[in-house]
Amino acid sequence: MGQPRIAAKEPTVMSLEPGTYYWCTCGRSRDQPFCDGSHEGTGFEPVEFTMDVKKDVALCQCKHTKTPPFCDGTHQTL
């Protein structure tokens, strides 16, 4: 499977409405930080997560977070 591509060394900060989302784990998606299917054949799979209420979040783009899909600051050490 290898290492994911680093899409950016900073999180995407956004307000998400209630619903189900798919966070890109491979770093290849053109719809960062969300999955667009570019992982096909890489061994990576998106992380499904659900928001129950509207909330501001920081979604990881370096793909090395220990708390997927949320940023934990790991990008600062890459």
Query: pLDDT tens-digit profile of 18-55?
Result: 999 999 999 999 999 999 999 999 999 999 999 999 99
pLDDT reported for residue 2: 86
Distances (CA, A) of 36 to 44, 45, 55, 75, 78: 12, 11, 22, 22, 25
Q: Is pLDDT above 80 for 64? A: yes
Return the pLDDT at 7: 97
Element (H, E) at 21: strand 19-23
Any domain includes 58 = yes
Structural domain containing residue 41: 12-77
Number of structural domains, the chain?
Answer: 1
How many Cα atoms within 13 Å fall on the side-chain side of residue 68? 18
Contacts of 77 (CB under 8 A, 6+ apart): none
Estimate to the nearest angstrom the gap between the alpha carbon of 56 and the chain centroid.
15
**56 lies in some domain:** yes
Give this prediction's pTM: 0.94
In a domain, 55, yes or no: yes
Residue at 3 is within a domain: no
**Greater model confidence, 2 or 24:** 24
